[in-house]
Structure 1
């Protein structure tokens, strides 16, 4: 599973796996243990996690949510010690630690709560999306080895 396979629906508290598109929307399945399915139509506000970014004050202007989530996972390894009842100051300090140049005027506390909530859900229900892709690393290390073998054969 990848970030492009996971969606959030406005008004729903959980994240969803994108199962299949339909003519009028998309079939979603909750990532939680209930695995409830729903059809999201054009009346639902569906956001795919790979298309979400967090505003920054640097030249780029934004950082993809996937990069932020992976950095959180690298720093905290699944336990941020935050939840939806954490104080605004704690939440802002948390995001400032993870993303020092986030735009404080455009990123609201409610946005940080979503990030924390989504991270907690991903750690519990889809930890593979937060792990670094080992296959890519293996492919990179195998390529030079193949070239050396080919060179020896010539």
Structure 2
């Protein structure tokens, strides 16, 4: 979920934004929708990067679940579509859905508005960045193949070099 490092929520604006680059007075952001509108956000505006957000858990006072892990859990349960519409759902439906995904969330510190934001963000990410939810082991398999092939290729090069050396005619040394 490294992609969450560059995706942010801007206070006072709906939706999610991709942080493109900093400027002298703020940052340039791009909407995470089909329009891809770019704008400059001033340094005084509150920008929350999704990588830094987490969900409170009931296990321990300081126990939290990072938002990236929560999105993966939601995706494993819901597979990209939610049974409810976050903005129109009742509080009971929101808490019920979250309890089915993360049974040990802290019900005293997590509010219905938080769940609405999280589920809305999840739907935006599934729609606009579906590659984020691809399984990690499939992406790592090609790396493992390269590691396996590299020593074999090096061994073949060494053997070929030795064969060339053995077949090459030896030069006679001239004596004076």
Give the TM bin, normalised by the shorter chain: 0.7 to 0.9
Please tell me the root mean square deviation across aligned C-alpha atoms, in Å. 2.2
Measured against aligned partners, the alpha-carbon deviations of 1:46-92 in whole angstroms (never above 9, x if no partner) come to 11111110010124610100000011111111111222110101100
- Give 1 or 2 for the bigger CA radius of gyration: 2
Aligned to 1:142: 145
**Contact 1:6/1:49 (8 A) holds in 2:** yes
Aligned to 2:4: 3
**Contact 1:82/1:116 (8 A) holds in 2:** no
Measured against aligned partners, the alpha-carbon deviations of 1:80-134 in whole angstroms (never above 9, x if no partner) come to 1222110101100111111111111111000000011001111111111222233
Gaps (5+ residues) in structure 2? 159-176
| Greater than 4 Å deviation, 4+ residue runs | none
Aligned to 1:54: 55
Cα distance in 2 for partners of 1:147, 1:35 equals: 41
Bigger relative contact order, structure 1 or 2, given CA contacts below 8 A and separation 6+?
1
For residues 121-132 of structure 1, the aligned pairs below 5 Å read 121-132=124-135
Measured against aligned partners, the alpha-carbon deviations of 1:16-39 in whole angstroms (never above 9, x if no partner) come to 111111122110000111211121
When normalised by structure 2's length, the TM-score is: 0.78
When normalised by structure 1's length, the TM-score is: 0.88
Q: Secondary structure, in 3 states, of the residue corresponding to 1:2? A: helix
Gaps (5+ residues) in structure 1? none
